[in-house]
Structure 1
């Protein structure tokens, strides 16, 4: 894939490694959000590995549905670590369609709000926090137990 193909897209730079337990737990959350956002056509993730060797990289990356900086390109991986001041992983840095920083807290956004955090702007996160506050202030059984994709509960035998 040519880098030019990413022009105009929101891009998540995913700093992660297979040896990192929190990364292995976060990756499925990011995959879920990614699969919800890719159909929009303007979102992509690029994996920047902190793995120790090609074999670890290959095994971990094989579970990811997005793009990656080649493991062999350690100069670019190191440069990106420095540019975005990555001090810990997992770390998801979100860039707008022009390559400008939207947030360096994409990991929290995905953990807290998943797909709903799109387009990853400060305004969107403020909206989501306001919705949460409103829901707490106007709490009901429905607001607590119902989800946008489900409006029912189940018995232990699977009946709704």
Structure 2
């Protein structure tokens, strides 16, 4: 009877798995690592970010879940208990795409040297990168190797460093050109959409990008990435100098809705930032000075955070002493206002006149100081 019960339970396992909605698994075997070694998976599915982590046991780890289509992911491996931040920014990390698949990653030592099996999406990703000249990480690694190939004397020479930097920029530019050509040639490929989205960047050339976007298959345009790219194309003209800035409402730190329209009659700096953004934080002291100088003359700052952690957001506001208006939906890069304004990098900002029209964008430091002085000191 016990055997029959066991067989019954075993036969039902696939049903239970399906009921739980798991349609992908990502398993790994990296050497023989054990605790405190830990793997961290962050993946974006249809505009929604997911985070997971697991401890390695004899090198093995496994993630599973449900996705609606193809997910973009960052997989980081903390070898010695240093934590997620170190693993992500200075450790063993890879960026991948996967679908509704059973994926296996194996390596003797690291994710960087791992072999993938079971993923057609990953194989397409490899073929795509071969066509365009490699990933950004690969080009960065090559640039570092280029620099390190020089003698100690060369590495201290500004002309040598400039030459290395120029070669890196040229490689990035060549990659973007190949991405655009790939998008034109592959309108039915998910990576055609990826290629167009990446090569278009923030400062989109609408006349160039829009026809290629419209040639993409309808199902690609209806993905979250496709919709975000459409928003970026639209934002190019909606946020141009002289245009009336798109209106929005988002909650502040205590959940109170703040609307941009309610600030009409003031000169407003719509500032996109995040607690984790070093350049944003380094600009904050300048903004504090400008706010103190002009707030009584009709100047307001409305900061839109691309954080997804309320705790980190509030800590940064307090630590930097930022006394102006703050809003966020805590959806990270998927922030609704960020998408509306076509934001792909922070810091970014738009200076609006009393009538709500865009006066200038991406002013920082002395450029912002001079612009505000010309507005308020005349």
What is the TM-score with the length of structure 1 in the denominator? 0.61
1:7 to 264, 271, 278: 264
Please name the residue that 2:111 is paired with.
none
Distance in 2, matches of 1:84 and 1:73, equals: 16
Distance in 1, matches of 2:372 and 2:342, equals: 23
Please name the residue that 2:283 is paired with.
26
Change in Cα spacing, 1:25 to 1:73, as seen in structure 2 (3 Å) is closer
The alignment partner of 1:80 has SS state of helix
Distance in 2, matches of 1:120 and 1:49, equals: 28
Coordinate RMSD, CA, aligned: 2.7
**Residue 49 (str. 1) matches residue 305 (str. 2):** yes
| Structure showing greater relative contact order (alpha-carbon pairs closer than 8 Å, 6 or more residues apart) | 1
**Residue 112 (str. 1) matches residue 366 (str. 2):** yes
Segments of structure 2 that go 5 or more residues without pairing to the other structure are: 1-255
Please name the residue that 1:81 is paired with.
338
Change in Cα spacing, 1:73 to 1:88, as seen in structure 2 (3 Å) is closer
1:95 to 325, 331, 352: 352
Give CA-to-partner distance per residue, 1:96-120, whole Å, 9 cap, x none.
122211112222xxx1245332167
Change in Cα spacing, 1:114 to 1:103, as seen in structure 2 (3 Å) is closer
Segments of structure 1 that go 5 or more residues without pairing to the other structure are: 122-160
The alignment partner of 1:45 has SS state of strand
Larger Rg: 2
**Residue 65 (str. 1) matches residue 323 (str. 2):** yes
In terms of fraction of residues, the more strand-rich structure is: 2
What is the TM-score with the length of structure 2 in the denominator? 0.28
1:37 to 281, 294, 303: 294
Give 4+ residue runs of structure 1 displaced > 6 Å after superposition.
none
Distance in 2, matches of 1:60 and 1:20, equals: 10
The alignment partner of 1:118 has SS state of helix
